[in-house]
Structure 1
């Protein structure tokens, strides 16, 4: 069966631009199916030029490069209804001429016709072609057909002569070789070789064809076995193609020097460049994954004995549709991923180019519950010339985007909140609800010793709607982060039996920077965001803190303690006694008592003896963005000179210590 499906033929296009059509045309290579010698085969998809863009075209095919001037049969030229040209081919003296193009029909040889143009340019002609007016029609170019098995010719198209095939099964190999073939020293560069075992019955001579991304880039004819002039050197393709390309070769064997070559022996495709193990990854917020890269092409060097000093640097880059085009992007600005350990990219060393390269990617926590995965593009590439490899083999590399899907870890703490409401009704992170804190005093609600963060609450006797009760109510909250402190207090005396509110509520505000805590006041609520992403909120009514709410972050799981417990999904360990592994979930009074703080001690956040201590860094895992990138004036610096990272959970800057504050 012949499929009449309309498609856009897959062309290899090379566009030249000038006013003269002889140098301003689109080159279509290897369009041998357009030959009148080719009959549409069962399973073929018909060429259909109704999608062709109007313009000047030149053809380059062994089957012939000019439009046929006779009417082919239906099914020839790789299409159902061939298009042929009335009149003669033009000569150089004719200049630009107009011709009539005919579509072969079911009942006649010119069912429809339209105008095209042609110009002779010496040893080739160009044609101004327009889209055909119907589907399954294609321009017919050339008359030759591929030589059948057992025959050959120089072009491998008719006319052919008998030939006994010689098979070679070539493979593409790449190695470092001297750039100057006449020396055994100096610069070395990556050179591709088309290797095969020497066939028996020789000696033979070989035609070597080289292709990059299916485009023929080099042909060397009639050379001895493994002759170095048949290799593919950087000068043959650099600035026309870039790394992460597909290289392929083919060999045609001649039985004598200058004789007729045999059939094409094609190699398999060789993937040349640097490639990740896959192009899509998932990473959970707060966790790290490893991306492994394989390098298939060596890095050259200015001298073979100095390879330890040579390499190429592959930088993290920003896709053009994102906010920055700097070679080292600050991904915190993009909001989802950052990179650590490998700094701003990867280095391919000339002396160890074959070794696997590793990039670590950490999912950055955004402190929000995201119902869908978030996708971020990771791009790697080189944009500058190597100072140690003059071959420019690795110049202008662009690795296809790697997709990083960020899986939300905040779901593990969604709907978790500790609270102390009114007199006070307590609820732990994991949902033990409506137990009553019956003791007065200062208590640890939330504490993370490793990060030097504490939230304390103050409870004292209530006076509620004219009723003076003996139970406590909230009358103070204190938040400490390292050497920063925020305190709000409404009661002057701590008592079970009487009430003494402050005439003016007391506020202590000793915060070094917003990187310690962010305080937002929107009456009647005050919101305090901690550097871990946890949130403390409280509201004030008359002389009481009606509500104290603490919402944990994903970093709090198994890392915090106090009356709020541990947000790990286990209700029972929410009632662990202070400085003990024992849980008192059946005795809430004893549990609360263990977390009481002596107001005269240095631990108290409300008392006069508090000692504020600072940590130089939080002990939690940092999220480090590139702080600097190599400049053109610092090319001699290794990539490792740019490992400077601004590390914090919610910011690209390190937390300021109080003495450093301006």
Structure 2
């Protein structure tokens, strides 16, 4: 684990690293660049590893034939000859000057999806870029092609898409679902958690919109050329849209592109900020002395569903997160004691989150188990918080089989 704090000891934070938790190893070098931390250790000294702030998106960034003693990231770029170093765009026949798009069957090419860099076109229709102005739009497989003016600058066509700045945000909320009969109670719709892409129409109904949903950076749903009055389903992301592909405690974003009218040129992508959807502890590393305690505070960013929206029933709709300790594939919790390492005060071996109080923080008080013995070494206790696929009603399918990041408790020895 890598921990940080401000000079006065506040703002404690933690970044997970990937190595064997029971192996004693040392960090040889650490560097931070943009949103990523780069490090190397005595366990894998030939590699520079990369991990983001949440401990996700682990990758090997570099490898050497000998060991690495330190890591330093320099803010700069290496200039390379674009005639030698470039990326290929193969089978790019639609990018040729002779290709005219038939929008009834073709999708417009947009280079916004390309990473900045140099590219070379490979096409059976010819590889040369246009050096004169094309007759009109829809050539080269795109709505507005550009051309090279000899040795001069690149010429771009006039902008004919909306350029207004729009605020786009993701919101988690409850929506009405199917009616599930409950004896004695008046039939009422169930309540299902969903995500909604929130933004304001800029045109009083004349603009068309493309709407994209992304989970962990991957597009999982998109709808295009929709007038604002027809956009209701496109701006909603349901559990059925990503079932069996992702689980909660994930990063959700949405994006829109605006058009002056249906079928016209779309503007740039306008992205929401990242919405961290799930059930999160305030930190994943704690220190406790035997016989003393600490608090783990959890926050849910997504509502808990309910099989009925009847006001007399909603207070009975709960979701249970179970506390356990991973141990050789087994998870043991008996009478609020986990493997003689920690004791916690809760109503059961877990945390209960309700349909009406899901937005409130939940706190678990944890004690270092006092075994009455002199312990030479400090002890670790690993806590896992998870939901089960069993005993979860259909409106809460979004919460099935969720595994919260492992929480580590460091137990100081008793003297």
TM-score normalised by structure 1 residue count = 0.39
Secondary structure (helix, strand or coil) at the match of 1:351 reads coil
The aligned counterpart of 1:173 is 171
Quote the offset at 1:334 in angstroms: 2.9
Relative to structure 1, is the Cα distance of residues 43 and 201 closer, same or farther in structure 2, using a 3 angstrom cutoff? farther
The aligned counterpart of 2:325 is 318
> In structure 2, how many angstroms separate the alpha carbons of the residues matched to 1:153 and 1:362?
69
The aligned counterpart of 1:228 is 232
Quote the offset at 1:288 in angstroms: 1.7
Relative to structure 1, is the Cα distance of residues 329 and 268 closer, same or farther in structure 2, using a 3 angstrom cutoff? farther
Relative to structure 1, is the Cα distance of residues 261 and 7 closer, same or farther in structure 2, using a 3 angstrom cutoff? farther
Quote the offset at 1:367 in angstroms: 2.7
Quote the offset at 1:325 in angstroms: 1.8
Instruction: Confirm whether residue 370 of structure 1 aligns to residue 375 of structure 2.
Output: yes
Relative to structure 1, is the Cα distance of residues 274 and 263 closer, same or farther in structure 2, using a 3 angstrom cutoff? same
> In structure 2, how many angstroms separate the alpha carbons of the residues matched to 1:154 and 1:247?
34
> In structure 2, how many angstroms separate the alpha carbons of the residues matched to 1:378 and 1:157?
54
The aligned counterpart of 2:285 is 280
Relative to structure 1, is the Cα distance of residues 142 and 364 closer, same or farther in structure 2, using a 3 angstrom cutoff? farther
> In structure 1, how many angstroms separate the alpha carbons of the residues matched to 2:122 and 2:144?
11
Quote the offset at 1:260 in angstroms: 2.1
- The answer to whether the 8 Å contact 2:249/2:276 transfers is yes
Secondary structure (helix, strand or coil) at the match of 2:240 reads helix
- The answer to whether the 8 Å contact 2:381/2:409 transfers is yes
The aligned counterpart of 1:214 is 217
Instruction: Confirm whether residue 73 of structure 1 aligns to residue 68 of structure 2.
Output: no
Task: Provide Cα deviations, 1:585-616, integer angstroms capped at 9, x if missing partner.
Answer: xxxxxxxxxxxxxxxxxxxxxxxxxxxxxxxx
The 5 A counterparts of 1:118-133 are none
Q: Among residues 326, 334, 341, which one is paired with 1:336 in the alignment?
A: 341
Task: Provide Cα deviations, 1:445-484, integer angstroms capped at 9, x if missing partner.
Answer: xxxxxxxxxxxxxxxxxxxxxxxxxxxxxxxxxxxxxxxx
The aligned counterpart of 1:400 is 405
Q: Among residues 269, 272, 278, which one is paired with 2:274 in the alignment?
A: 269
- The answer to whether the 8 Å contact 1:185/1:304 transfers is yes
The 5 A counterparts of 1:639-654 are none
The aligned counterpart of 2:309 is 304
Instruction: Confirm whether residue 190 of structure 1 aligns to residue 188 of structure 2.
Output: no
The 5 A counterparts of 1:175-574 are 175-179=173-177, 186-199=189-202, 203-225=206-228, 227-230=231-234, 231-305=236-310, 306-319=313-326, 322-323=327-328, 325-326=330-331, 328=333, 334-408=339-413, 410-411=414-415
- The answer to whether the 8 Å contact 2:168/2:198 transfers is yes
- The answer to whether the 8 Å contact 1:316/1:329 transfers is no
Cα RMSD after superposing both structures: 4.1
Quote the offset at 1:153 in angstroms: 11
Quote the offset at 1:7 in angstroms: 9.2
Q: Which has the larger radius of gyration?
A: 1
Relative to structure 1, is the Cα distance of residues 156 and 376 closer, same or farther in structure 2, using a 3 angstrom cutoff? farther
Relative to structure 1, is the Cα distance of residues 285 and 297 closer, same or farther in structure 2, using a 3 angstrom cutoff? same
Quote the offset at 1:234 in angstroms: 1.4
Quote the offset at 1:166 in angstroms: 2.6
Relative to structure 1, is the Cα distance of residues 232 and 295 closer, same or farther in structure 2, using a 3 angstrom cutoff? same
> In structure 2, how many angstroms separate the alpha carbons of the residues matched to 1:350 and 1:190?
10
The aligned counterpart of 2:6 is none
